[in-house]
Amino acid sequence: MELIKFNYKDTALLDEGEVAEAASSLSGYIGHLNEVTKAGGYDSREASLNLPFDEDTLAKVKTLASAKKIDKLKYIVVVGIGGSNLGAMAVYEALFGTLHTVLDGEAPKMLFLDTNNPKLLLDIKNTLSGVEDKEELLINVISKSGGTTETIVNFEALYAYLKENIKGIEDRVVVTTDIGSKLYHKAEEVGFDILEVPKNVGGRFSVFSAVGLFPLALAGVNVEALVLGARKERDACLSEDLEKNPALASAVLIHLHHKHGISIQNSFFFHSQLETVGKWYRQLVGESLGKQHNKQGNEVRVGITPITSVGSTDLHSMAQLFLGGPKDKFTTFISAKTVEDKVLVPNKLVFDGLVDDISGKSFSDVMGAIYEGVKKAYEHNKIPYAEAVLPDLHETSLGQFLQFKMIEMMFLGELLNVNAFDQPNVEDYKKETKKLLSV
């Protein structure tokens, strides 16, 4: 299996000795991660590392997906928010593209009900209003804790509508939650199907658990290939060899730039269907590293602000700032080595003479020239960057990328001396909201 290439040597603009030193400072932690994977199971806070090797979960997910996915399945509604839907959304959109919902014949369509937006709920109800047979539809409610306000609110409102209109809809609800959560018990009472999430796997690290795998399997995604990619990448990313370990290299670069005052991390995807992978990564960085206190409990207010850019779209939006503005960002370009491209610019143009040298070229040729042009412009302006090149945009490559980034985040937690696995400040607004709702 070809792996992701991570290039940064002449472009990250950091001292090689400094990079090597920071990398070797993680040697102990890499040892720890190797123990976690050797032990297997879900006891440590890095438990997510073992998800791709969990044959039992994979089998359960596949069995339930086969039972639920018959030829009739037209719509999967994922009711979940944050870590409960971003992984599935990222992979789904990367594979099916941004227009998946408008395309006929590409079944089934996945709809994401996340926030409590009345318009979104009405639109989903309208979309589903044509469903007569319960087997055309599956609702996957996902909440680790089981107490996510938006998820419960959305499910209750949607289910009340479906219950009235589709006979036997209760057979078409699958609940994904922590073993033993209140939601788990309620779902058991009602008789819904249930999939479990290991307790120590946080939402943002859960894409290779049932949280991500089940809806993707239903949509026809090759989930074995996805986890296979993650397995191979895990091997690479637990190596102490900087040359072979993209997670180590990337974490060290982000950390050192942060240390030198660059606190914005720009993930610049050169395939527009990867934009949602950027949203997934944004949560991973935001929640893992944005911390008021360090591991010793001292107030530090540390964090890196992740931003997502899309090539070539954002060249017509943010390039002026990136190239001309302050040097306050470290950029990682993400592209794929090979993409299916049967699209050519015609030889004979209607608008000839407007843009030079495009006739007869493939879209990939054009985008390749734009991408290389951007990298050169970064170099001329001495703006630091790295690049991750995926073998392609299929399941194994996506599995690799997600695994690479999750291990990168564990390394960054160590380097920044924060707990990458909690999110205590989220309670700051939740407790206020609770008070307001109770009035």
Q: Is the dihedral of CA 212, 217, 222, 228 positive or negative?
A: positive
Closest to a copy of itself by CB, 70 or 354: 354
Considering only residues 87, 303, 384, 413, which one is a binding residue for a copy of itself as defined by CB under 8 A?
A: 303
Considering only residues 99, 165, 167, 260, which one is a binding residue for a copy of itself as defined by CB under 8 A?
A: 99
One-letter identity of residue 79: V
Closest to a copy of itself by CB, 41 or 147: 147
- Among the listed ranges 28-36, 59-67, 313-321, 394-402, the one in contact with a copy of itself (CB under 8 A) is 313-321
- Among the listed ranges 50-58, 81-89, 207-215, 232-240, the one in contact with a copy of itself (CB under 8 A) is 81-89
The answer to whether the CB of 289 falls within 8 A of the CB of 416 is yes
Environment class of 424 (CB within 10 Å of its CB; exposed 0-12, middle 13-18, buried 19+) = exposed
- Using rule CB under 8 A, residue 341 touches a copy of itself: yes
- Using rule CB under 8 A, residue 329 touches a copy of itself: yes
Closest to a copy of itself by CB, 228 or 345: 345
Considering only residues 24, 44, 222, 292, which one is a binding residue for a copy of itself as defined by CB under 8 A?
A: 292
Residue 417 to residue 288: CA distance in whole angstroms: 11
Nearest to 174 by CA among 255, 91, 106, 73: 73
- Shortest Å distance, C-beta 86 to a copy of itself: 7
- Using rule CB under 8 A, residue 434 touches a copy of itself: yes
Neighbours of 320 (CB within 10 A): 10
What is the three-class DSSP state of 136? helix
- Using rule CB under 8 A, residue 230 touches a copy of itself: no
The answer to whether the CB of 230 falls within 8 A of the CB of 399 is yes
- Using rule CB under 8 A, residue 312 touches a copy of itself: yes
Name which of residues 154 to 213 contact a copy of itself (CB under 8 A). Answer: 155-157, 159-160, 182-183, 186-187, 190, 203
Max intra-chain CA distance, the chain = 70
Tell me how many degrees the CA angle 62-145-433 measures, rounded to the nearest 5.
140
- Using rule CB under 8 A, residue 74 touches a copy of itself: no
- Among the listed ranges 16-24, 28-36, 103-111, 240-248, the one in contact with a copy of itself (CB under 8 A) is 103-111
- Shortest Å distance, C-beta 224 to a copy of itself: 23
Q: Is the dihedral of CA 96, 100, 106, 107 positive or negative?
A: positive
Considering only residues 13, 153, 228, 242, which one is a binding residue for a copy of itself as defined by CB under 8 A?
A: 153
Contacts 24+ apart (CB under 8 A), 428-436: 433/149
Name which of residues 107 to 136 contact a copy of itself (CB under 8 A). Answer: 109, 111, 114-124, 126-127, 130
264-269/329-336 β-pairing: parallel
Residues acting as catalytic residues: 287, 316, 430
- Using rule CB under 8 A, residue 56 touches a copy of itself: no
